[in-house]
Amino acid sequence: MTELIIASMMTMMTAATPLMFAATGELICERSGVLNLGVEGMMLIGAVFGFATAAVTGNASLGLLAAGASGILASLIFAFLTLTMLSNQVATGLALTIFGTGLSALVGFDYVGETIDRIAAIHLPVLSDLPVVGPLLFGHDPLVYLSFILLIGVALFLNRSRWGMILKAVGDSDVSAHAIGYPVVLIRYAAVAFGGLMAGLGGGYLSLVYTPLWAENMTAGRGWIALALVVFASWRPERVLFGAILFGGITILQLNAQAAGLGIPAAFMSMLPYIATIVVLVLISRDVVRIRLNAPACLGRPFRAER
């Protein structure tokens, strides 16, 4: 029984990792006041370019770099359209997702059915062999740790650093931030690019580690879950961790319940995270102060500098 619980927890943590990457990036992006609905598209682009690079060079780490870089490039298209050309963020984000789906299918066409060497799990002598805590703390692939480190970094950045305060100021009142003299558009560009990097890494995690293969539309909606996750976390990084494990874990729990023959309908379990999101939304909407504290006030609004 202990073994089953440990094994399930390990599987849940890997299921949560792509969500953590994508949601952490989107959180920074939204905190700067930009709503990028293109997460799913950027994840797919990251997944396909990461896989293609790994397949061609035979080096999965290079693939991961390519995944992140292609995510940034995709997000910069979005940034140029919404921040420089002032197009509608919702429509542009949706377009980015549709574009990413198509582009990834096109690029990936020749790579369907190819194999690569995945990025392997680390194994530390002594530590990884400890009972219970060994596999749980020291037995994952490096990207699981990277996602944790990045999340902690983002939490510290937002809550403890001057630049974090500036980022939040830009998201909460672009006009004031501009008046004080901060380069609002430039900061938003950086935030969007960070979101792209993280979505790309999340996609790369899927195609390079989770299931080392490329298949059309292989993210299967995880980008949308990441978006819901940011709202669920009410724009607080520490809650992203909890949400990602809940959202990622529910699938694993659902499959576990089936395999154990508990007879709980799979569809019911699958909708639980979304019900949780709605409940959280309703709860935080009831409290006006809380919303003001968390949701970026300028989210989704275009900004044009007045001179």
Partner 1 sequence: MHQRVWAARSGQNDNRSKDFTLTNTGGNTDMKKLLKLTTVMLTVLLSLGAVTQASADKLKVGFIYIGPPGDHGWTYAHDQGRLMIDNMLGDHVETTFVEGVPEGPDADRAIAKLAETGHKLIFTTSFGYMEPTLKVAKRFPDVKFEHATGYKQADNVSTYSARFYEGRYVQGQIAAKISKSGVIGYIASFPIPEVVRGINAFMLGAQSINPDMKVKVVWVYSWFDPPKEADAAKVLMDQGADIITQHTDSTAALQAAAERGIYAFGQASDMIQFAQDTQLTAILDNWGPYYVKRTVDVLMGTWSSGDTWDGMGPGMVGMAPFTNMPSDIAMMARETAESIRTGAFHPFTGPINNQAGEEVVAAGETADDGMLAGMNFYVKGVDDKLPQ
d(CA 111, CA 104) in angstroms, rounded, equals 11
Q: What does the DSSP 8-state code read for residue 110?
A: G
Residue 206 within binding range of partner 1, rule CB under 8 A: yes
Contact 25, 199 (CB under 8 A): yes
CA dihedral 69, 71, 73, 77 (to 10 degrees): -170
Under the criterion CB under 8 A, does residue 255 sit at the interface with partner 1?
yes
3-state secondary structure of 168: helix
Binding mask 160-199 for partner 1 (x = CB under 8 A): ----------------------------------------
Rule CB under 8 A: say whether 268 interacts with partner 1: no
Does 4 sit near partner 1 (CB under 8 A)? yes
Continuous H helices in 32-124: 39-57, 60-79, 89-108
Identify residues 105-134 at the interface with partner 1 (CB under 8 A). 109-110, 112-113, 115, 118
Q: How far is the CB of 14 from partner 1 (least distance, A)?
A: 8
User: Given the complex with partner 1, which of 218 and 228 has the nearer CB atom?
Assistant: 218
Closest CB to partner 1 among 191 and 244?
244
**Do the beta carbons of residue 42 and residue 226 sit within 8 Å?**
no
Q: Please state the closest distance from residue 210 (CB atom) to partner 1, in A.
A: 6
C-alpha distances out from residue 238 to 57, 152, 173, Å? 37, 8, 23
Beta carbons of 209 and 47 less than 8 angstroms apart: no
Point out which span in 122-130, 172-180, 263-271, 293-301 binds partner 1 (CB under 8 A). Answer: 263-271
Name every residue whose Cβ is closer than 8 Å to that of residue 178 and which is 6 or more positions away in sequence: 184, 303, 305, 306
Is 101 a binder of partner 1 (CB under 8 A)? no
Contacts with partner 1, residue ranges (CB under 8 A): 4, 7-8, 11, 15, 109-110, 112-113, 115, 118, 206, 210-213, 215-216, 218-220, 222, 251-252, 255-256, 258-261, 263, 265-267
